[in-house]
A and B are shown apart, each in its own frame.
Chain A
Amino acid sequence: MRIFQSTEAVIALVLILVMFAIGLVNPAFWGVSNLFSLAKSNVVIGIMALGVLLIMISGGIDVSFPAISVAALYITVRSMVALGYDGVMLPFIAACVIGMSLGALNAVIIDRFKMIPLIVTLGTASIIRGLVLGLLGTSIVNINKMPKELIEFGKQDLVSVTAQNGATVGLTAMVLVYLAIAVVVHLMLKYTMIGRSIYAYGGDAESARRAGINTRRTIFFVYCTAGLLAGFAGLLHSSMIWQANPRDFIGLELDVIAAVVLGGASIFGGRGSVLGTMIGVFTLVMVKNSLILMKVDTTWQRVVVGVIIIAATAITAWRDRKKLV
């Protein structure tokens, strides 16, 4: 456990250094409105990242969660519009169930055919996106048609302050939702046997089987939970931006995987923590956000994300290899 702690300390240190560097270049970074918007950008990516974290600890990888998110949010919102239903609780439950079912589909294929998760989720991602667009159409549900209660839910602020320019800026209450989920995932990983079985399975699948762990249950738990979190994050995203776009989240898998790897999770499985992942997400979101503040063309953000993935993976691989000596 000490290794995780030290890994997290290193990432936190990197985060603080980058924050000060960005603050020096652009003092607007420390403005309340920027910090609040930064926190807001963490929520959806962060929840998705927690799902991806589980999968990566188990030694797998998932590139289908953006597609799962989109399916969950678009199916839910379109159904609400079609039925004329408005509400919060039931739609979120529906989004979670859709996400979980699609996660279970991944798990079935991976477990039954002993296939590589990357290939499976590449395939399911394409199938899910194609089905959503083909069966439900490509029209965006805009603010005028979006269910009002969903919008009101996403609008809630925790605190609001008046910025220097006179505008009111608020810290979204969705941050609390994110933190609550993070705490639950952390406790699950650290203090339940199913959580420890994910680490065990990611460390050595064969030994896990010999130790009597029900590895099928572990696989299903991991992919279903990741699907559930993706579905939930999808609808949350929709309620926060007041629209449902079936082409949303394209290319997001790379950002989220980069954030999780940056947070110290090993792509070989067996290592990773909630705190590290949250710091990784924060760092990635902050860097991207600051590139916008510094008026760097958005195309360059892809370059930065790519560099982060390679650098963070290299560092974790180097760490793991070093420990083998």
Chain B
Amino acid sequence: MSEPLIELRNISKRFGGVRALDDVSISIRPGEIHCLAGENGSGKSTIIKVMSGIYQPDEGEIIIDGTPVTQLDPIQAVQKGVQVIYQDFSLFGNLTVAENLALNTYILEGRSRMDWRRARQMARDVLERLGVRIDIDADVETLPTSGKQIVAIARAILAEARLIVMDEPTTALTRHEVDALFDIVRDLQSHGIAVLFVSHKMREMLEISERLTVFRNGRKVAEGDMRDFDEASITHAMTGLELNDEPYLAQLSSNKAPVLQVSGLRVPDSVSDVDLTIRPGEIVGISGLIGSGRTEFARALFGMEPAASGQIVINGKDQFPRSVQQAIALGVAYVPEDRLSEGLFLTQSIERNMVVSILERLRKGLFLDHARMRNRTEEMFDAMQIAAPSADTAVGNLSGGNAQRVMLGRWLLTGAKILILNGPTVGVDVGSKAKIHRIIRDLARNEGLAVIMISDDVPELVGNCSSIHVMHEGRFVAELSGADMTEAGINDSLKSLN
């Protein structure tokens, strides 16, 4: 067994009274593919910052190539070959691929002249080494996410990285692109470059990683060969909980009339001839790649696609929602994918964020009925199991999972009969995710809510939906239900589309 490339021993780090890291150790060998897993706030990002010299640990040792390093700073870390690729890639969209690749090297070399010829040569060489074709004279912002990621990896290689840390690398990638990324990572490995994935997408990490370290609340709770773990044991280690993974079975009685009937729905350039029927208590999943028309479909149901046409019957009423107001009045609620930019008022309290959907109903004369407002909020606050000191806490201070539950609460207050969820647990950690799933299932089962769940997360769909549609190029191309509804089935169906 070779000597570790980098080893962190008994690292502790406090911020004020909070112990972000408590006596943790991790070691990475040359050419190893290692996965660091943990929920939000478990200390994952703190340890990355210790490794890359941004934070100095309060206690503990950092050993690189067998020699202890005191006072590791960012420049030293880069010189020792530690490169971090953040989720946003830190690239310059307005500059060309070649310049993005050369810039860091030139800055490190302390040059004052911009040598374009050498920049383009460097770019050509490194991309060739990675075996990818990217136009080096294209502006980076014109590249797809996967292209930007490759540029970020290439930049790390140019900096003579020996360890590349990737923060949530697969979040915005399609399955196809994830496979391409993994090919590149294996190629890096064959050149002796170690890769540390920081992720909570367990399934993908199980495919590629060799070793695993799991953090929880600033402590290391598990480590070892990936072979010794499965999804359940990792989740258990991350959350400390046993999560039951029983699929959802809708309690359908045929006498219940459909709450939503869509026929021949069209949205110019994105959705064509989609039919869908949902009964109360059903959770229908929609899977498909980004750009398959799934988001436009949801927006059309919520009155946000003005040019949409077709027939939509909601609660027996044949009325096509032409505006968000109309859709809400008909009993439709939509929780968008990007809840931070599209939904929540981050600086405002939980209460205000929740009641904003029903302000009109809380009116008493010219003013708002504050007592009733408080009552309705507290009910929902409890029902959604939001972890916050009170309903006056600003939403910006909540974790992803709690913020998502505030969003759910807002729409449930409207008394919606149809709830459309787009990426309900994107950016939400495992424990919180299970809680959200449980809430959604309970609402469907007990309150007869009809749910449309759009997600990239295939296990999430399989675990919660009563049936799943696969969408491609604006059409429903496959429907799976009952015994056919397996992850493998959906993955095959998605793969065949590429």
Footprint of B on A, CB under 8 Å? Answer: 1-3, 190-196, 199-200, 202-204, 206-208, 210-213, 269-271, 323-324
CB-based contact A200/B91 at 8 Å: no
Q: How close is A165's CB to chain B, nearest CB, in angstroms?
A: 50
Quick check: is B93 within 8 A (CB to CB) of the other chain?
yes
B111-164, CB < 8 A from A: 111-114, 116, 137, 139, 141-142
A269: min CB distance to chain B, Å: 8
Nearest Cβ on chain A to B81's Cβ, whole angstroms: 16
Known A2-B137, A212-B108, A323-B142; judge A204-B93 contact (CB<8 A).
yes
Q: A residues within 8 A CB of B113?
A: 191-193
B92 / chain A contacts, CB cutoff of 8 Å: 199-200, 203-204, 207-208, 270
29 residue pairs of the A-B complex, CB under 8 angstroms, read A1-B96, A1-B137, A2-B137, A192-B113, A192-B114, A193-B107, A193-B111, A193-B114, A194-B112, A195-B114, A196-B95, A196-B114, A199-B95, A200-B103, A203-B92, A203-B94, A204-B90, A204-B93, A207-B90, A207-B91, A210-B86, A211-B90, A211-B107, A212-B104, A212-B107, A269-B94, A270-B92, A270-B93, A270-B95
Closest 4 pairs between A and B when the two form their complex, measured CB to CB:
A270-B94, A203-B94, A207-B90, A203-B92
Which chain B residues have a beta carbon within 8 Å of chain A's beta carbons?
75, 86, 88, 90-96, 99, 103-104, 106-108, 111-114, 116, 137, 139, 141-142
Asked if residues B112 and A203 are in contact (CB atoms below 8 Å), the reply is no
Q: Is the CB of A213 within 8 A of B107?
A: yes
* CB neighbours of B142 from chain A (8 A): 323
A323 touches B90 (CB 8 A): no
How many angstroms from the CA of A203 to the CA of B114 in the assembled complex? 17
Please report the C-alpha to C-alpha distance between residue A194 and residue B107 in the assembled complex, in whole angstroms.
10
| Nearest residue, chain A, Cβ from B92 | A203
Known pairs A193-B106, A270-B95; list 9 more (Cβ under 8 Å). A3-B139, A193-B107, A195-B114, A203-B95, A207-B88, A210-B90, A212-B107, A323-B141, A323-B142
Q: With CB as the reference atom, state the residue of chain B lying closest to A210.
A: B90
CB distance from A15 to the nearest CB of B (A): 24
Total inter-chain residue pairs, C-beta < 8 Å: 65
Shortest Cβ distance from residue B295 to the other chain A in the assembled complex, whole angstroms: 14
How far in angstroms is the closest Cβ of chain A from B87? 12
Which residues on A sit within 8 Å (CB–CB) of B93?
203-204, 270
Residue of chain B at shortest CB distance from A271:
B94
A210 contacts across to B, CB distance below 8 A: 86, 90
Write the nearest CB–CB distance from B175 to chain A, whole angstroms. 22
Please, how many angstroms separate the alpha-carbon atoms of A207 and B88 in the complex? 9
Contact B99 A196 (CB under 8 A): yes
CB <8 Å contact, B96 and A191: no
Give CA–CA (A199, B92) in the complex, Å: 9
Q: Say how far A209's CB is from chain B's closest CB, in angstroms.
A: 9
Query: How near does chain B come to A228, taking the closest CB pair, in angstroms?
Result: 19
B141 touches A324 (CB 8 A): yes
- Nearest chain B residue, comparing its CB with the CB of A202: B94
A115 to B161, CA, bound (A): 37
Contact between A193 and B112 (Cβ–Cβ < 8 Å)?
Answer: yes
A2 CB contacts on chain B under 8 angstroms: 137
| Chain A residues within 8 Å of B107, by CB | 193, 211-213
When chains A and B are docked, how far (Å) is the Cα of A24 from the Cα of B203? 70
Counting chain A CB atoms within 10 Å of each CB, which of B92, B93, B94, B99 scores highest?
B94
CB distance from B320 to the nearest CB of A (A): 27
Bound form: Cα–Cα A69–B111 in Å: 33
Contacts of B99 in A (CB 8 A): 196
Residues of B within 8 A of A196 (CB): 95, 99, 103, 114
Contacts of A194 in B (CB 8 A): 112
**Beta-carbon contact of A200 and B95 below 8 Å:** yes
Chain A, residue nearest B155 (CB) = A211
